[in-house]
Structure 1
């Protein structure tokens, strides 16, 4: 994945100079639902800040393997549940199809993890209401990459 492909907004993945704000191993995260190329920029930012990408899952195993190869130490897992059940994972980054982002975020927060999604974070007002309720109930963050 090119990190400078500005002509293709979907696949543009900015990368910068690493500026860690945490020590190695202090912030463990996972990536799933790799449907949009912005997931690379999202994970670049998290790793440049010192985060460690532990797991990758996508329904398309080949896509997950290609993605994991870009991040040293990332392991492809067989299903989303492996990510959700891992107590070490603090945050899940996802770039699902827009209409699926809210449901993914709610599952993530219901498992005690913060959620970081690509824009647009939801597609209906009903999803917005459900996301607000999940944030209130879980105390977890629903964050959007712009």
Structure 2
């Protein structure tokens, strides 16, 4: 099943939310949550994760009527709110989810936190350093949760399993991560905001935020800085505000990292992108082929482990995806088990600085 990217230009195939493709055991509701803004189809994966964790979806709102109509088709029994304020004023709602236009996500999150609710945004949850400073200020003052769903880690079984293996010492001390985030563009079906730098924040801010999350997590870095970064529009001159390529070198107090993101997935690939993560350790390495193994087994979630004894493929089909459950726990218990606030913000800080400092490249 493919999740649509929603917008004025119509629906296109976007990243599939893996967990939504499996049968989910019923979990009795433990919190009530709502949705405000569903411009990207990732919202359905966000809802799915929270429902798996014990959340009950009770209301939704978008300023675009067509998005409200589409959402109603998926959730016909859930209340369609008349306004954003109606949801913010409802004291029974504890958590708000959003996959609005990227540059609108942080301002909404600030309003949500000030209303006394927790917030979970699609990535990128913040699109400028000025937004980040204000979000940090309000989060510190309100003590609310501001979570960003970095789904390449949270909703991918192979990546979750890799985290368990690294924690257990399977490859020794992690030295470096290499995160590759290629995507297929399908430009004719993209909404207008997709092509506006002020709306999407730049390719490193957007797609690259996934990779910085994984870099920090797997290296265990709590401090990091951007060594070098570059971005460019090398293949789509008809969209002058679009960036179709970016890469970054980053260094942390736990290891090094390299990130490459692009919009060049060819139509011949049977997935929207051959996303990969390589984790180099002192005693071995792990490679994850998230969506497709172009010359091997069918499907996604391919995890390969190489150590001093053997090379093996690890089955991840039954790996639990804990993010939604942990986030619901955190909402109830005021804890940080799904992701620390410091990690969430440092991920976006690195992506935003890499974006802001990036050298503009042009190919002859």
TM-score scaled to structure 1, two decimals?
0.87
Q: How many matched pairs?
A: 140
Map 1:60-71; keep pairs closer than 5 Å: 60-71=64-75
Separation in 1, partners of 2:110, 2:43: 18
Aligned-partner SS, 1:117: strand
Closer, same or farther in 2 for the Cα pair 1:131/1:50, shift >3 Å? same
Deviates more, 1:102-111 or 1:67-76: 67-76
Could you tell me whether the CA contact under 8 Å between 2:39 and 2:67 is conserved in 1?
Answer: no
> Is 1:133 the counterpart of 2:130 in the alignment?
no
Higher Rg: 2
- Give ranges in structure 2 of 5+ residues lacking alignment: 4-11, 151-364
> Is 1:5 the counterpart of 2:2 in the alignment?
yes
CA offset at residue 64 of structure 1? Answer: 1.4
Partner residue in 2 for 1:38: 42
Separation in 2, partners of 1:86, 1:101: 20
Q: Structure 1 runs of 4+ off > 4 angstroms?
A: none
CA offset at residue 46 of structure 1? Answer: 1.0
Partner residue in 2 for 1:48: 52
CA offset at residue 65 of structure 1? Answer: 3.0
Partner residue in 2 for 1:96: 100
Aligned-partner SS, 1:42: helix
- Give ranges in structure 1 of 5+ residues lacking alignment: none
Separation in 1, partners of 2:60, 2:148: 19
TM-score scaled to structure 2, two decimals?
0.36
RMSD value, Cα:
1.9
> Is 1:18 the counterpart of 2:24 in the alignment?
yes
Match of 2:118 among 106, 114, 122: 114
